Structure 1
Amino acid sequence: MNWKLKSAAVIFAATTAVVLSGCEKKPTAQVHNAELLENPITIQHQLGTTVIQQRPQRVAVLDMNEADFLDQLGVKFVGMPKDYVPHFLSQYKNDESVADLGAIVQPNMERIYALKPDLLLITPLQANQYQTLTEIAPTVHYDINFNNSQQQHFESIKSHLFSLGEIFDRKQIAAEKAAELDQKINQAKQITANRTEKALVVLHNNGAFSNFGVQSRYGFVFNSLGVKPASTAIDTSLHGQPISSEFIQKADPDILYIVDRTAVMERRATINAEQVSNPLLRQTKAWKNGKVVFVDADAWYTTAASPSAMRIVIDDVIKGYQL
């Protein structure tokens, strides 16, 4: 029996159990162990509407951003993909109480089904599996735009914090985390406000570069944090606009932020200036003035849309002005 048939059987059995227990005026084991909500929580998101009837007890997260949200709120979860776990969530990598659900982009459905979760949290990276996942458990989609974060990036993060705070009865903690994020944003804006430096954000991947402009995955760096762009090139793809060293040399940024994707994908140390340097790059003001920042790839690439990641990203941005 495949997992879909198993899922249907479990749903049918669970529904029957609820009906029978209703006739007998006895709560089921699931209801007995969970806090029934006096007012069910309705979460509307881009993929649909999710109604939560009881306080979730067995939550599975399918993205590292969601894992960080729950970690920051002090909420335990029973499963997560463990293919690319950022260093700030490393405590869960070998935690046997947290099941390994496979890959972030292609989670293992059999393992998810076997876990018997009562809530699933996903992002756009798992959006294609949404309908299938809803057959296993109520599923909430995190409405974050990974292609173009120019608008509403931090607002989306705070909104998701508040939503999860309501679901898990962590409203106060959610408000505190949102306030901390606002403080970090304001700290960066105060630093960038009167500065004339222009910057590039580029992705390094096995010796090749991609640029991320004002309408890109890292658009929030320019739009929300006040960093002035060294290039007006527009690109909204997930992995940026392929560029050459000549492109960087002509843009001549005062500050160069380098996201080392290879370090994440190959699980190795981040590159340094000596390893990536070439005659064209050495001609830029950023290289000449020592303002090349090799950012935290886990925060910028693996996550980039959660409370911990944003604190690290903002610190990396500020570092470019302090070198």
Structure 2
Amino acid sequence: MTTPRPRHGTLTLVTLTLTLGLTAACTSSGSEKDNSASAETGSGSTHTVQTAMGDVKVKDHPRRVVVLDTAELDSAITLGIKPVGATRAGAASAFLSYLPRNRTTGITEVGEIASPSLEKIAALKPDLILSNKVRDGGRYQQLSAIAPTVLTETTGYPWKQNFLVHADALGRKKQARAAVATYDEHVAAVTKSLGGKKKAAAVDVNVVRFVEGADIRIYGKQNYIGTILADVGIGRPAITDKAKDGFSYDVSPEQIDKADADVIFTSTYGSPGKAKVTETTTSGLWRNLKAVRDGKVFQVDDELWIQGIGYTAANQILGELRSDLAG
């Protein structure tokens, strides 16, 4: 009942062009080369970063960065930095599969998200650790004893503000401005491809996530994917306004009719069987949804659409939105 897509998505020409522009902006001098030059010219210089735990003094150009969540990994890669260590994103792949393989090859895994190995982190001798209070607030003192640790308050919805904190900590403000500008241009291009803001707003879109061991989530507006849809100006059904804390409205398979919309994007976290995908999508309630009847249900990569939380992921998502909604 759904339209399958390749796991990594297919970039449109516009997406490819913009992504290449972003890559050039972020690595105009070569990330490793840039870091080495910085170390040679000013290894002792530092600056202060405002974080969720107060002001933290970090090196101007940290070279050995450890990231402990997916947003921090996307930020580092977007800004042309390859971390020396990162937490595992999930069981299927150590790191987010939508990221360029050459940008993640060689990164050392330091444990699972929210339960990293302090010993593995310390062994990498980092000069900067990036995470957030939701994942690592409880171990902040231990992490800070290893290296300067920059935590944002939370993850997800404030991803754009968090990205700027990451850029400040990494000494990559210029590259951050280029990334934001590229995204804004891409958003404008996608909105235009949909016929402008008025036509985009006339199409109601739901994002439905099947989660192993939990209820089905109909995503609201106060989350990562919600901000991207809002930036493009895409309409959202009334159910999204009922989402708890703006995040999601959770339903059982017997309530899936609440997900009705013009277009539905679906993703799955964990085992499809345990996430009740087949049970839900073979039911009469599902088959009667407008999006299903019209052939407007699209399967998307959960790591890209839900877990990625950054500008590299966002540009790929914009490409998929254009392909699916403007086609």
Where does residue 49 of structure 1 map in the other structure? 55
What is the correspondence of 1:94-133 to structure 2 with a 5 Å cutoff? 95=105, 97-123=106-132, 124-133=134-143
What is the correspondence of 1:1-323 to structure 2 with a 5 Å cutoff? 35-36=42-43, 38=45, 40-84=46-90, 85-89=95-99, 91=101, 95=105, 97-123=106-132, 124-146=134-156, 149=157, 153-154=159-160, 156=161, 159-160=164-165, 162-164=167-169, 167-168=170-171, 170-190=172-192, 191=194, 193-195=197-199, 196-206=202-212, 208-216=215-223, 218-230=225-237, 231=239, 232-236=241-245, 240-245=248-253, 247-262=255-270, 276-303=281-308, 305-323=309-327
Aligned partners of 2:71 and 2:310 also within 8 Å: yes
User: How far 1:216 moved relative to its partner?
Assistant: 4.3
Identical residues among aligned pairs (%): 25
What do residues 193-236 of structure 1 show as CA deviations (whole Å, max 9, x unaligned)? 12212121111124951111123454314533322121231223
Q: 1:226 to 1:127 in 2, by over 3 A?
A: farther
For 2:268 and 2:242, locate their aligned partners in 1 and report how far apart those are by CA, in whole Å. Answer: 21
Letter in 1 for 2:262: D
For 2:299 and 2:280, locate their aligned partners in 1 and report how far apart those are by CA, in whole Å. Answer: 12
User: How far 1:90 moved relative to its partner?
Assistant: 6.2
Letter in 2 for 1:178: V
SS at match of 1:89: coil
Aligned partners of 1:299 and 1:313 also within 8 Å: yes
Aligned partners of 2:159 and 2:224 also within 8 Å: no
Say how many residue pairs are matched.
278
What do residues 62-106 of structure 1 show as CA deviations (whole Å, max 9, x unaligned)? 1232222222222232111235311133637984x4322011121
Between the two structures, name the one with larger relative contact order (CA 8 Å, sep ≥ 6).
Answer: 2
Letter in 2 for 1:309: A
User: How far 1:157 moved relative to its partner?
Assistant: 5.3
For 2:89 and 2:220, locate their aligned partners in 1 and report how far apart those are by CA, in whole Å. Answer: 28
Stretch moving more, 286-295 or 203-212? 203-212
User: How far 1:280 moved relative to its partner?
Assistant: 0.9
For 1:310 and 1:264, locate their aligned partners in 2 and report how far apart those are by CA, in whole Å. Answer: 25
**Is there any run of 5+ residues in structure 2 with no aligned partner, and where?**
1-38
Aligned partners of 2:64 and 2:125 also within 8 Å: yes
Q: 1:265 to 1:245 in 2, by over 3 A?
A: closer
Q: 1:237 to 1:229 in 2, by over 3 A?
A: closer
Stretch moving more, 281-290 or 245-254? 245-254
SS at match of 2:198: coil
Flag as ranges the 4+ runs of structure 1 deviating above 4 A: 263-266, 270-275
Give the structure-2-normalised TM-score. Answer: 0.72
Q: 1:34 to 1:274 in 2, by over 3 A?
A: farther
Letter in 2 for 1:211: I
User: How far 1:140 moved relative to its partner?
Assistant: 1.1
For 1:265 and 1:93, locate their aligned partners in 2 and report how far apart those are by CA, in whole Å. Answer: 32
Q: Which has the larger radius of gyration?
A: 1
Root mean square deviation, CA, Å: 3.4
For 2:322 and 2:287, locate their aligned partners in 1 and report how far apart those are by CA, in whole Å. Answer: 22
Where does residue 35 of structure 2 map in the other structure? none
SS at match of 1:44: strand
Aligned partners of 1:293 and 1:316 also within 8 Å: no
Q: 1:143 to 1:115 in 2, by over 3 A?
A: same
Aligned partners of 1:67 and 1:80 also within 8 Å: yes
What do residues 136-173 of structure 1 show as CA deviations (whole Å, max 9, x unaligned)? 11011245543xx2xx544x255246425xx33x4443
User: How far 1:133 moved relative to its partner?
Assistant: 0.8
